[in-house]
Amino acid sequence: DPYSAEPTRHPALQINSLKPFNAEPPASILSDNYITPSVIFFKRNHLPVPRVDPEAYRLEIEGLPGGVVSLSLSELKSRFPKHTITATLQCAGNRRSEMNEVKQVKGLNWGIAAISNATWSGARLRDVLLSYGFGPEVAAKAKHVQFEGLDKDVTGTAYGASVPLNKAMSEEGDVLLAYEMNGEDLPPDHGYPVRVVVPGVVGARNVKWLGKIVVSDEESKSHWQQNDYKGFSPGTDWDTVDFKSAPAIQELPIQSAITHPAEGTSVDRSDGEVTVKGYAWSGGGREVVRVDVSVDGGKTWHVAQLRTSDQEQHPAPPPPPGRAWAWKLWEIDVPIPQRAQELEIVCKAVDSSYNTQPDTVAPIWNLRGVLSNAWHRVKVKVSE
């Protein structure tokens, strides 16, 4: 069994698939922590978890003038400054289940919690490439940086992805070869000993168990870069889809969802108000600037309080423009409307480019069920 060496997992995780292991935390606990504890951070594996010996580990780098570089874990840790960022990872398939309700899509039936937030520490990819000869000649030809995992399928094909070279090399890109998550060694499920963290970019490009980096004029040839993780029109079906016709997803669109109260629960009229909580995040380093909440299906709106750390009294300093990699948690007490017997609670976020979320799912439905970011709606009863 290729899955015989899987790590043990936290029992609270809601399992979507066991082999490979895919799981998300219950939505109700997701917003309890600004920094998601690693044990409940969502886990998305396409293949068995490779168990890597840190002494034998080598990171190979190709495509630089000096030839192939081979770097040990201790060299990666000692030769380059350690840089720490707080960044949210979201799977392209987060909230796919809402697309399935419109019409069947292909993919894991994620709820709203295929997204989590952590601190990541490691070497800047930029520093590593510069130190091994990245310069104007390479920059003139190369357009992408490809990543290969040490996890392989039965044919020996590794998980792979790529990101644009300008993201990888930008001083403001904050792309890390991360060896720590939340202040500890990366857990096996999250890429031990090294993963690339590409903040602001879809989870799929944040390659875990990183074995190889290739600076190239081409995107990764992997299935996941070429024939998956792309968006299409609601009118495109499996008979007509041409994966070459759409770009690979990189930066994700604005997103928000309600973590509390839960669908189908009830609120007491005598409380006078309902407390609504959730998360909001946008891709590409765009900062969430506002979250609007409605309890009447979107007729009237209220502005939620945003939170940027685990201690409400000590908000994090605002991120530099274009480098808002971390989510915001939000909360608001909304008066319960007088005669309402049921509340349709809705949230939508706005980012620093004034992008906001579409109001319904149908117009953004797509056959792979990715990029699901419509207004999130939760219905609750009002009990007298």
113 contacts Mo ion (rule: CB under 5 A):
no
Give which of 229, 274, 259 is closest to 371, Cα–Cα.
229
Binding at 207: pick from ligand MTE, Mo ion, none (beta carbon under 5-8 Å per type): ligand MTE
Measured CA to CA, the distance from residue 306 to residue 300 in angstroms comes to: 19
Interface with Mo ion, residue 198, by CB under 5 A? no
Looking at residue 138, what DSSP letter applies? H
Best CA proximity match to 115, nearest among 378, 300, 334, 372: 372
Tell me whether residue 198 or residue 304 sits nearer to ligand MTE (CB atom): 198
Cis ω for the linkage preceding 261 (within 30 of 0): yes
Q: Which residues, 71 to 110, sit near ligand MTE by CB under 6 A? A: 89, 91
Residue 45 contacts ligand MTE per CB under 6 A? yes
Structure tokens at 104: 């069947």
Q: Is 193 near ligand MTE (CB under 6 A)?
A: no
Of the candidates 204, 349, 371, 374, which one interacts with Mo ion according to CB under 5 A?
Answer: 204
Contacting residue, 193, 203, 211, 253, with Mo ion by CB under 5 A? 203
State in angstroms the smallest separation of the CB of 204 from ligand MTE.
4
- Could you tell me how many residues of this chain bind ligand MTE (CB under 6 A)? 20
From the list Mo ion, ligand MTE, none, pick the one residue 194 interacts with, judged by a Cβ distance below 5 to 8 Å according to partner type: none
Site membership for ligand MTE, residue 46 (CB under 6 A): yes
Q: Does 145 bind ligand MTE (CB under 6 A)?
A: no
Q: Which does 149 bind (CB under 5 to 8 A by kind): Mo ion, ligand MTE, none?
A: ligand MTE
Where are the extended beta strands (E) located within 193-250? 195-197, 210-216
How far apart CA 231 and CA 248 sit, in angstroms, is: 8
Q: Tell me the window of 89-97, 101-109, 279-287, 307-315 that interacts with Mo ion (CB under 5 A).
A: 89-97
Question: How many CB atoms are closer than 10 A to CB 376?
Answer: 22
3-class SS of residue 122: strand
Q: What, of ligand MTE, Mo ion, none, does residue 80 touch, CB below 5 to 8 Å by kind?
A: none
For residues 113-142, which are near ligand MTE according to CB under 6 A? Answer: none
Tell me the backbone φ, ψ of residue 124, rounded to 5 degrees. -70, 130
Q: Please name the helix (run of DSSP H) or strand (run of DSSP E) that holds residue 294, with its range, or none.
A: strand 288-294
CA distance 222 to 146: 10
Residue 24 neighbours by CB under 8 Å, 6+ apart: 13, 14, 16, 42, 110, 111, 113, 114
Does 47 participate in binding Mo ion (rule CB under 5 A)? no
With CB under 5 A as the contact rule, the residue among 38, 41, 44, 274 that binds Mo ion is: 44
Please count the residues of this chain forming the interface with Mo ion, following the rule CB under 5 A. 4
- Indicate which of ligand MTE, Mo ion, none lies near residue 190 (CB less than 5 to 8 Å, by partner kind): ligand MTE
Shortest distance, position 331 Cβ to ligand MTE, whole Å: 24
Residue of 243, 253, 258, 242 whose CA lies nearest to 371: 253
24-43 footprint of ligand MTE as x/- string (CB under 6 A)? -----------------xxx
Quick one: tokens of 380? 């609750």
Residue 8 CB partners (closer than 8 Å, separation 6+): none
Report the candidate in 302, 329, 361 with the shortest Cα–Cα distance to residue 34: 329
Q: How far is the CB of 195 from ligand MTE (least distance, A)?
A: 7
Residue 232 as a binder of ligand MTE (CB under 6 A): the answer is no
Among 126, 167, 208, 368, binds ligand MTE (CB under 6 A): 208
| Cβ atoms 47, 153 nearer than 8 A | yes
Give the footprint of Mo ion on this chain (CB under 5 A): 44, 91, 203-204
Chain residues binding ligand MTE by CB under 6 A are: 41-47, 89, 91, 149, 151, 159, 189-190, 203-204, 206-209
